[in-house]
């Protein structure tokens, strides 16, 4: 998608370096950063220079490429895989990507391993783009149906950033929106601010603006009243891990939006590529929920009057704060899962029908 009118992917490989858009600087500065070592890749995931389930999976894949360039020794690669895998705990795409890469390179001779790893990491990215594009085409039908009945702007609420910045291109939750916009369907997005890191305000609104899509940032608690007032036609969110039974783990606050949508008979869809399905965990209580530094709550960052980025403390110094990053929305509150293969019920049967 575009930034300042120029097409970008979120990650690419060039001259033995991994290039990323540093998302900790958006929307204030657009900086392309080089990752030179596997440690750089691990750090980029941890500090959220890259974030979003599919993108951290792709970064881990390229992290292994960097590890091979550094030291093509079996035990170093194994340790790098473990460190990449544990750099953030909740998104299943990390494990999916690391496992896929390790399987591909296992037993490969040292003269071929780099080429094979580079090709596989690129294929992970290309495949994600294809899948996200299909998610968009499948989700477009839902938006079209609403528009055909309403004959007026379709208002869509989303939480966090499941946009192209969270994937390689298109996004998951935003892909149907981009497709609807391209088709001339008038859409307007309510972008939940998404405290504490403000991915909705800093990233979703930013990327929608760059594509010319009408959007409004709202405080995280505003969705409920908008739904009661009939100002939300549907919700679409992304996910970091969806269980085979249809339970959806996503950015903290998603669950409350799903409850409000349920109470107001508003369709609540989750968009995901199959790389985000966890086929093995049966109980959502087993999903590791990331707890991040409470400083993300107690401090905020923004522009000062001179245009410089500044961080300030907004809580009393003595106050404790807790920063859980994800929650789980039970399948019963999810209207449907929009995947690359089609839309299905959020249930074991629904997912099995699409993914035999």
> Which residue in 59, 134, 155, 239 binds ligand MRU (CB under 6 A)?
239
Site residues for ligand MRU, window 184-213 (CB under 6 A)? 199
Q: Is 251 in the site for ligand MRU (CB under 6 A)?
A: yes
Q: Give 94-98's long-range contacts (Cβ < 8 A, gap of 24+).
A: 94/45, 94/56, 94/57, 94/60, 96/57, 96/275, 97/57, 97/58, 97/60, 97/61, 97/124, 97/275, 98/60, 98/61, 98/64
Q: Single out the residue of 59, 87, 250, 298 in contact with ligand MRU (rule: CB under 6 A).
A: 250
Q: Using CB under 6 A, which residues numbered 279 to 308 contact ligand MRU?
A: none
Q: Does the annotation count 265 as an active-site position? A: no
Looking only at residues 109 through 138 of this chain, which bind ligand MRU when binding is defined by CB under 6 A?
none
Identity of the residue, 251 or 257, whose beta carbon is nearer to ligand MRU in the bound complex: 251
Q: How open is the CA angle 167-168-173, to the nearest 5 degrees?
A: 35
Residue that has been written with the tokens 């899962």 in this structure = 337
Under the criterion CB under 6 A, does residue 53 sit at the interface with ligand MRU?
yes
Interaction pattern, residues 324-353, with ligand MRU; x per rule: CB under 6 A: -x----------------------------
CA angle 85, 240, 88 (to 5 degrees): 30
* Spatial strand order in the sheet of 17-21: 11-14, 17-21, 32-35
Among 136, 238, 246, 253, binds ligand MRU (CB under 6 A): 238
Stretch touching ligand MRU by CB under 6 A, among 67-75, 160-168, 210-218, 298-306 = 160-168
CA distances from 208 to 131, 187, 191, 274, 320 (A): 20, 11, 10, 24, 35
> Hey, which residues are catalytic here?
240
Summarize as ranges the residues that interact with ligand MRU (CB under 6 A): 51-54, 91, 160, 162, 166-167, 172, 199, 238-240, 250-251, 325
């Amino acid at each position: 998608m575009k930034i300042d009118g120029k097409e970008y992917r979120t990650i690419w490989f060039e001259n033995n370096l991994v290039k990323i858009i540093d998302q900790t600087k958006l929307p204030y500065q657009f900086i392309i950063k080089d990752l030179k070592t596997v440690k750089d890749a691990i750090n980029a995931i941890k500090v959220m220079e890259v974030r979003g389930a599919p993108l951290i999976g792709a970064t881990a894949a390229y992290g292994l490429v960097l590890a091979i360039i550094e030291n093509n020794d079996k035990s170093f690669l194994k340790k790098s895989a473990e460190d990449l895998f544990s750099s953030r705990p909740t998104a299943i795409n990390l494990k999916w990507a690391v496992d896929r890469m390790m399987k591909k390179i296992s037993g490969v001779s040292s003269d071929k391993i780099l080429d094979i790893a580079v090709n596989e990491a690129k294929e992970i990215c290309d495949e994600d783009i294809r899948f996200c594009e299909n998610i968009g085409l499948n989700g477009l039908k839902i938006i079209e149906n609403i528009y055909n009945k309403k004959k007026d702007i379709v208002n869509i609420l989303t939480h966090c950033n499941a946009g192209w910045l969270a994937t390689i291109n298109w996004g998951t939750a935003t892909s149907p929106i981009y497709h609807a916009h391209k088709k001339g369907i008038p859409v307007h997005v309510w972008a939940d601010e998404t405290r504490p890191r403000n991915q909705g305000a800093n990233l979703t609104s930013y990327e929608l603006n760059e594509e010319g899509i009408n959007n409004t940032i709202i405080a995280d608690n505003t969705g409920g009243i908008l739904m009661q007032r009939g100002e939300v036609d549907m919700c679409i969110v992304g996910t970091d891990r969806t269980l085979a039974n249809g339970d959806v783990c996503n950015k903290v606050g998603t669950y409350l939006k799903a409850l409000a949508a349920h109470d107001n008979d508003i369709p609540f869809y989750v968009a995901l590529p199959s790389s985000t399905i966890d086929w093995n965990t049966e109980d959502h209580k087993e999903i590791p929920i990331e707890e991040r530094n409470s400083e993300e709550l107690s401090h905020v960052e923004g522009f000062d009057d001179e245009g410089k980025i500044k961080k300030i403390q907004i809580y009393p110094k003595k106050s404790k704060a807790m920063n859980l990053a994800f929650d789980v929305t039970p399948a019963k509150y999810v209207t449907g899962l929009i995947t690359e293969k089609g839309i299905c019920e959020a249930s074991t049967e629904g997912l099995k029908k699409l993914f035999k």
